[in-house]
Amino acid sequence: MAEYRAPVADMRFTLKHSAGLQQLAQLPQFEDASNDMVSAILEEAGRIAGEVLSPLNASGDQQGLQQQGSEVLTAAGFRDAYQAFIEGGWGSLQFEPEHGGQGLPYVLSIAVMEMWQAANMSWGLCPLLTQGAVEALACSASDALQKAYLPKLISGEWTGTMNLTEPAAGSDLSVIRTKAEPNGDHYLISGQKIFITWGEHDMAENIVHLVLARLPDAPSGVKGISLFLVPKFLPDAAGNPGTRNDCQVVSLEHKLGIHASPTCVMSYGDNGGAIGYLVGKENQGLACMFKMMNNARLAVGLQGVAIAERAYQHAVEFSRERVQGRAAGFDEAGPIIRHGDVQRMLLTMRALTEAGRALTYDACASIDWAAQNQDPERQAQHAVRAALLTPVVKGWCTELAQEVTSLGVQVHGGMGFIEETGAAQYYRDARILPIYEGTNGIQAMDLVGRKLIFDNAAGFNALVSEITDDIRRAEAGGDKLHAEALRNAVACWQTCAEFILQHQASDPQLAGAVGQHFLMVSGYVCGGWQLLRQVVACQSDEEVSAPYKEGKLKVCNFYFQQILPRIQGHADTLQKGSEAVMAMSEDEWLSGIG
């Protein structure tokens, strides 16, 4: 089974031309992000991903996890791999130096995170959640909490979790029942949480849970939710793990995929109450959590890109080695990569992956621009831009991961259905991505409701203007064919947006019924835009090799001919509205059964 090899060349090119990393490096806070530094980080991260994490992927999937009372034992090799992660300072790349971070751009950490997720998604979920916890605490916690917890979380010595979901509270967090009782300088937390990723494990000396709960006098609904920091071990006077807190794992979920990642049912307060500390203000917990949730949604979109890359590499290796049949134009049997249908599948996998990578890096770069303090106007523009692109990245990139990993199985033929070949694991692991951090239906409604309708398409129109400028640049450079195709796609996208804006007031079901189609049109258009930008950039970048340029052009050609036309079907369906979707009454769903 082939191990993962980080696509460092494409990552470096995408950081440079899609994310604008060199422009970010001109900002005072990112001056250490030199070309040499970026290359060194990518090369070393790629080495660790390929040599340390990737070999544990299949074995971790097969071995899974062991629960022994209140302890969870991870798969063989996971602890050692995590220790290497800590020793390399990999969890600190994008965080503030005052808490032990390296102060590098967020988007650079995203490229590194892609490697972890591609090499071993089960393992990679642990640092992903920890970095989200750091973001939430850095944004909302008191100085005292930041001082006590951020250095350990940023170093990776301690890990973090996000505790939202309960048995009766999934997407609807307004019905959360976990309680928080004031008790002096802290609170006593009691309740149960489910689906808590890496809620218990043996890789770090302490686990910091961020828990949503209600105060006794809290108003009903989401306006009455507060956020609390609940450590597994209470720090002692020296800041080291001390007394065990009143929180523990009850059970582990048995899942379709990510078998080596503990998904926990967590219980708080079985023996009087788990000690927790308020993060932010009372009854403002959801707002405090949104920083973590929004960046986590970008990270989940990145996971879609990462698992797609892994599936693509696996399929290419197999198709180059598997001899089966004589392809057209050849006199003898040879590798299946010669066959037209196999090349169609592989190019679909590669084109979707490279488009998704470019879109994700670009969106994450807007997080960096929105955080800089040199240009307030640019800061505000990028905040809107990042907000608009977040549901597209999360939704579209995780949907493409379903297609790419499924094609990976198909390329293997019957062997793909056999676990030993490894292709099935990527397919299974990818299936969680459209579900967690807000299902893709929620992402679609967010895109339509909050990002299109709420500001009357102001952010959407700004992005269209940016894409139109890039189309003009492509035309000026002589690429009239791709430019014209993308211009037509953008016009189709605008027609979809106009339809929604015109009909949403009279059709309250519209966002839910057609939002997924708008999200997919948005993704395909933005993916084409990113690939066109890259082709244009190849023309002027003297550092890019001729084979790389040729490959990028062929990928772009394929995308524009074979993938971009998909938008028409989504657009036509979208403009039918919600009537057919909402036609069935509740009683009719079982008609014809029994």
Query: Could you give the residue numbers annotated as active site?
Result: 437
Determine the 3-state secondary structure of 374 from DSSP. coil
Question: Cα–Cα distance between 109 and 89 in angstroms, integer?
Answer: 12
Q: Is 550 exposed, middle or buried (0-12, 13-18, 19+ CB in 10 A)?
A: exposed
Please compute Rg for the chain using Cα positions. 24
Asked if 354 and 553 count as a contact pair (C-beta separation under 8 A), the reply is no
186-197 and 247-252: which strand pairing? Answer: unpaired
* CB-based burial, 315-335: b 16+ in 10 Å, e otherwise: bbebbeebeeeebeeeeeeeb
Largest CA distance in the chain: 83
In degrees rounded to 5, what are phi and psi of residue 81?
Answer: -65, -40
544 and 562 in contact (C-beta within 8 Å)?
A: no
Task: Look at residue 248 and give its three-state secondary structure.
Answer: strand
- Output the DSSP codes for 194-230: EEEETSS-SSSSEEEEEEEEB-TTPPSGGGG-EEEEE
Pairing mode of beta strands 226-231, 274-279: antiparallel
Question: In sequence order, which ranges of 541-562 are alpha helices (DSSP H)?
Answer: 546-558
DSSP annotation of 477 reads: T
- Torsion angle (degrees, nearest 10) of CA 468, 469, 473, 478: 20
The H-or-E segment that residue 491 falls in is helix 480-503
Cα distances (Å, whole numbers) of residue 171 to 289, 435, 439, 492: 14, 10, 8, 31
Q: For 578, phi and psi rounded to 5 degrees?
A: -100, -5
